[in-house]
Structure 1
Amino acid sequence: MAPTSQPPGKPNRMGAATRTKILDAAIAVLAEKGFSGFTLQSVADSAGVFYGNVTHHYATRDKLVEAMLDAILERYRARFDELVASIEAHEDGPIRALVTWLVDDAVSPETAPLFLELWAMATHNPHVAAGLTQLYDGAVDVCMKSLGVEPDAPSARGLRDSLYVLGAVIEGTSSIFSNRDRENGIYAGFRHQAIEMLVPLLEQKLAEAKANGR
């Protein structure tokens, strides 16, 4: 019997649900097993679907990696948009709230293992490298706009550069502290120093950007 065709214009909800399940499983496998353990079969097992279900939607591991990266970036952008919306009226000021959230998020179980694997993959996968670059560029733009500064304004260059310094600190935080016991005081000391050093720098650059932009 021939398969029933999908009515024109009607979304294939079953196919979309399966793709979401596969992508969720792919993200979990990458975070748990790393890229060396990231296979189509391991993703199928984690998703609870047949291997053929995975290859039907993503014929190769590279295709699955590309789709997974797009899903990760879309979800992380949504998280970041929510963060920016929540810190604008924060009692400690938007910059301190922003720095604190990013430093803590960098070592969270949801973020650290995943992004460490993505950066490792980026060294030999141009698509992953481009995706991560796009994420960080977009995050900096969102931050600047939320602080009332146009990202492309000449006066904003110092603030932009300082936000990339923050990004570098975040990546280092993941690398050094994600696998350590964060209750032993080492991370607490780093966290305090990072926040106290970065907040005045960013506040100064923000004031300069606004003053020079008038």
Structure 2
Amino acid sequence: MIQNTVPGATRTQAQRTAATRAKLLDAAVDSLVEQGYSGISTQGIAKRAGVSRGAQLHHFPTKESLVVAAVEHLVDKRLMEILESQPDPEYGFEALFDAFTGPLFDAALELWVAARTDPALHAAMIQLERKVSDALRTGCLEIMGDRVSPDIIDLGIELARGFAVSALMRTPESDREFRERLLPVWKALVSK
């Protein structure tokens, strides 16, 4: 199918739909990171995205569906970036730890905390977390090959997540020192 890329040309319905969804997903992530889950509303996200409330409701009828889709979108995007960069297999553990930093992690953490007491969000997050874990496992296996077992990778995912949560209570400098000190220890244990 030839896509309409001529300036001023009319976009197809599929292109308009994709553009609207992308605006909403980006606005949802930005809002989630800046304001936290309890501070955002679908109306505020629609306004930030520059789309009508009706368009927002058409694509994402609930707050939960919008923010979960936004984080899922970032997970897919981040996994593709990692795999396309073709990191050195020796960098595999660092790549895993890097997956738990930045806006994606901040947004996901906001949802984890909110999901603890919000049954609808909790139900939506179960699928997302399964997808996140599968994506991380796939990415790590792709990067590290058969040098480590899937169980070691699963343990690494849990360890990296725990490091990232505890990093919230450290300064960037102390976190860097902590990571530089403990990551080699973990790598050495896994290599035995």
Number of the residue aligned with 1:79:
81
Once residues 61 and 162 of structure 1 are traced to their aligned partners in structure 2, the CA distance between those partners, rounded to angstroms, is 31
Once residues 57 and 203 of structure 1 are traced to their aligned partners in structure 2, the CA distance between those partners, rounded to angstroms, is 47
Number of the residue aligned with 1:166:
160
Give the letter for the 1:128 counterpart.
Answer: M
Structure ranking higher in helix proportion: 2
Give the letter for the 1:114 counterpart.
Answer: A
- Check conservation: 1:96, 1:195, Cα contact below 8 A: no
Distance 1:63 1:167, change over 3 A: closer
Distance 1:191 1:37, change over 3 A: same
Once residues 156 and 26 of structure 2 are traced to their aligned partners in structure 1, the CA distance between those partners, rounded to angstroms, is 34
Offset at residue 82 of structure 1 (A): 4.1
State the identity %: 21
- Check conservation: 2:65, 2:124, Cα contact below 8 A: no
Offset at residue 40 of structure 1 (A): 1.5
Give the letter for the 2:133 counterpart.
Answer: Y
Offset at residue 42 of structure 1 (A): 0.2
Give the letter for the 1:57 counterpart.
Answer: H
Q: TM-score, normalised by structure 1?
A: 0.67
Once residues 66 and 160 of structure 1 are traced to their aligned partners in structure 2, the CA distance between those partners, rounded to angstroms, is 22
Number of the residue aligned with 1:34:
36
Offset at residue 95 of structure 1 (A): 4.9
- Check conservation: 1:122, 1:129, Cα contact below 8 A: no
Summarize deviations over 1:45-78 as a string: whole Å, max 9, x none: 1011221121122222233234223212212322
Gaps of 5+ in 1: 1-9, 178-185, 209-214
Offset at residue 117 of structure 1 (A): 0.9
Q: Does 1:94 align with 2:95?
A: no
Number of the residue aligned with 2:9:
none
Match of 2:108 among 106, 109, 115: 115
Offset at residue 158 of structure 1 (A): 4.5
Give the letter for the 1:189 counterpart.
Answer: S
Point out 4+ residue stretches in structure 1 off by more than 4 angstroms.
none
Once residues 184 and 159 of structure 2 are traced to their aligned partners in structure 1, the CA distance between those partners, rounded to angstroms, is 12
Gaps of 5+ in 2: 1-11
Distance 1:191 1:64, change over 3 A: same
Number of the residue aligned with 1:19:
21
Distance 1:11 1:203, change over 3 A: farther
Distance 1:159 1:45, change over 3 A: closer
Give the letter for the 1:127 counterpart.
Answer: A
Once residues 105 and 157 of structure 2 are traced to their aligned partners in structure 1, the CA distance between those partners, rounded to angstroms, is 19
- Check conservation: 2:31, 2:45, Cα contact below 8 A: yes
> Aligned-residue CA RMSD in angstroms?
2.9
Number of the residue aligned with 1:146:
143
Where do 1:45-60 residues align within 5 Å? Answer: 45-60=47-62
Offset at residue 44 of structure 1 (A): 1.2
Structure of greater Rg: 1
1:25 alignment partner, SS class: helix
Q: TM-score, normalised by structure 2?
A: 0.74
Task: Report the count of equivalent residues.
Answer: 177
Once residues 46 and 26 of structure 1 are traced to their aligned partners in structure 2, the CA distance between those partners, rounded to angstroms, is 9
Offset at residue 41 of structure 1 (A): 0.7
